[in-house]
Structure 1
Amino acid sequence: MAGHSKWHNIQARKSVQDAKKSKFFTKVTKELMLAARAGGADTALNTRLKSAIAAAKAVNLPKDKIEQAIKKGTGELAGENFDEVLYEGYGPGGVAILVEAATDNRNRTVAEVRHLLSKGGGSMGEAGCVGWMFAKKGVFSFPKESFTEEQLMEVALEHGAEDIADEGDVWEVHCAPEDFDALSGAFEAAGMTIDDAEVSMLPSNTVSLDAENGQKLIKLIDMLEDNDDVQKVHTNGDLPDELLA
């Protein structure tokens, strides 16, 4: 399940610009509402909401906006009604692509996602065509200069971790989504500062891309993520190192 941190690094480089865009705040607000609607307002019982709040704080969404979004999600305040939808397709080089969206108009969103995939050298697929290649996992990232693999293993394997992956500059610890909170708490109790943590869709295998198709895939994902209805994009494309410098 390699490659997750590579995409995270690319997204991190864009985060300063993206944080200035109103659509970025719209995305984190939608996720707060959806997370609260799905699991309630108690972060002790709702891992997804806990992650959504952390993401909202990371882009400096005001506290009152966070609270309003949560109350809209639980129904305490009136709010928009979004549906969660998942689109599956293919990108440059034959890579698999999953697009998570939140929309109040399914017809509009599916048409826009189909158009963007086609414009970016890919295509929309049928439901189930690539979803089987991905699994939902908790992902924790730690800079290699902070901890050794052995130090992480001492804590991780006792609290539900399934795998520790070498991702270049970082170690990635993977777990089942239901073990996310327990593992996060164990790392905090051990004084291990987490660089990044989220529940994501990880591919079971990856497709290596050359520089040309790698650039095309980056542009396609940028276009998809610029769409207001798109929340997250996942791929099994493995970028060449030259594009990560």
Structure 2
Amino acid sequence: MTVVVDVETTGLEVKDRICALALVMDDEVHYELIHPGKKIPPEASAIHHITNEMIQEASLFGTSESYELIRSLNSAENTLISHNAPFDLAMLQKEGITWQGAVIDTLKCSKALMDDLDGYGLQFLRYELRLYRQEKDFFEPYGVTPSAHHALSDALHSRMVYEYLLDLASHERLVELSQARLLLSRLPFGKYAKKRIETIAMKDSAYLKWMLDSVMDMDEDLRYSIEYYLRD
């Protein structure tokens, strides 16, 4: 079985926790607000529109339906799918869930299989891949209205991206790509955004070296790619 997961959180720091979780299984969906054990700051609410009043009566993760459901699904036979899987897996890890099955990161797979796009965020792919043309029929059976940064809506869009990727690679290949180091061809940000890293390495290697030294939270695939092209 495939299990698509998406979480909304109180922020992006080590101290932050899940405040909503959605799961999309083969033929059913689950969504639940979670009490994170701390206040949701306004900058987080401004993104996902979950307020402290909304989670006041919600369960803590450890006593939630979500916890029991994901525990029941957490086996080697099931594959977890997520757009930016390391983030969702890390948030689940904070709540005592270490995923036992295979993982497909639709963000990483999109970068690997479609390296000429201008972006890879979930909402960007929604429009770039024209998923919006099918989303009404896709969402309607679940009674969900597409809405960015709503966990269930995002999980359904991640499922749509996964199904799109299956036209480019097999399920097994997507699992492999999600585990492998990814050699990126283009720089995603900075003054050379969208330019080929190999070309930048030849013309302005100092800039790439500066990035390695200065961007502490750099994506591991981007760091690997820069180091790769600087060695050549």
Q: With CA pairs under 8 Å and 6+ residues apart, which has the higher RCO, 1 or 2?
A: 1
**Could you state the TM-score of these two structures normalised by the residue count of structure 1?**
0.26
